């Protein structure tokens, strides 16, 4: 409590009323809108069509046939997944080049690069977005996972393949 001293009739101490203003709390509607926006950002894209790996719902038709409908959810590539793809592929490129510089030949399998005394601790793998493999003559191939936009491109050389207007193969996951 703050005090005020008056000089008119001697030292009189009297309290000063202070009013504290607190900002109004968020209402229910703005919080609900924010929750919907966050939920929409975090959800996957829905694709409808028959697949063998998802749950089928069956509804009987009047005739003896069944109608089947499925929904598959595919991952949405985040900037971090694209960055991880680039980092993993570049790590394998560096390991392949180191192997070739020391041994005088290109590695033919991931096992030659991984393990005790190897060039990589583990083989990089993110099957939800991409897989990395070795091609001929030390080529490092990146294959976008099924359900990603770049899956139709198939396995492509990380160092040389460019997607027009997009970038390297990792940008298509």
> pLDDT by residue (tens digit) across 14-51?
666 666 655 555 555 565 666 666 665 554 444 333 34
Residue 71 falls inside a structural domain: no
Residue 93 burial (CB < 10 Å; 0-12/13-18/19+)?
middle
66: CB partners within 8 A, 6+ apart:
58, 59, 60
Using 50, 70 and 90 to split pLDDT, how confident is the model at 89?
very high
CB of 144 closer than 8 Å to CB of 150: yes
What does the pLDDT read at residue 37? 65
Using 50, 70 and 90 to split pLDDT, how confident is the model at 3?
low
Residue 166 falls inside a structural domain: yes
Residue 34 falls inside a structural domain: no
- What span, in angstroms and rounded, lies between the C-alpha atoms of 60 and 147? 30
On average, the pLDDT of the chain sits at: 73
CB of 99 closer than 8 Å to CB of 119: yes
Residue 32 falls inside a structural domain: no
What does the pLDDT read at residue 46? 41
Q: Please compute, for residue 169, the number of CA atoms within 13 A of its CA located in the half-sphere on the CB side.
A: 26
**What tens digit of pLDDT does each residue of 129-158 get?**
999 999 888 999 999 998 888 888 888 888
The number of domains in the chain is 1
Residue 145 falls inside a structural domain: yes
Residue 73 falls inside a structural domain: no
Residue 12 falls inside a structural domain: no
Structural domain range at position 161: 79-172
Please compute the mean of the pLDDT values over residues 121-135 and round it to a whole number: 92
Residue 123 falls inside a structural domain: yes
């Amino acid at each position: 409590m703050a005090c005020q001293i008056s000089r008119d009739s001697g030292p009189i101490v009297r309290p000063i009323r202070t009013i504290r203003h607190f900002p109004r709390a968020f209402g229910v509607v703005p919080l609900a809108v924010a929750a919907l926006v966050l939920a929409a950002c975090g959800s996957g894209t829905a694709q409808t069509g028959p697949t063998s790996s998802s749950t089928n719902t069956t509804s009987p038709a009047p005739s003896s046939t069944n109608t089947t409908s499925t929904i598959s959810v595919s991952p949405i590539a985040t900037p971090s997944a694209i960055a991880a793809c680039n980092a993993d592929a570049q790590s394998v490129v560096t390991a392949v080049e180191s192997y070739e510089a020391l041994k005088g030949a290109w590695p033919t399998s991931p096992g030659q690069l991984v393990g005790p005394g190897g060039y990589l601790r583990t083989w990089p793998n993110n099957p939800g977005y991409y897989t990395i493999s070795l091609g001929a003559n030390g080529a490092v191939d990146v294959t976008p996972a099924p359900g990603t936009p770049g899956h139709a491109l198939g396995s492509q050389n990380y160092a040389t393949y460019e997607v027009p207007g997009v970038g390297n193969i990792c940008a298509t996951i």
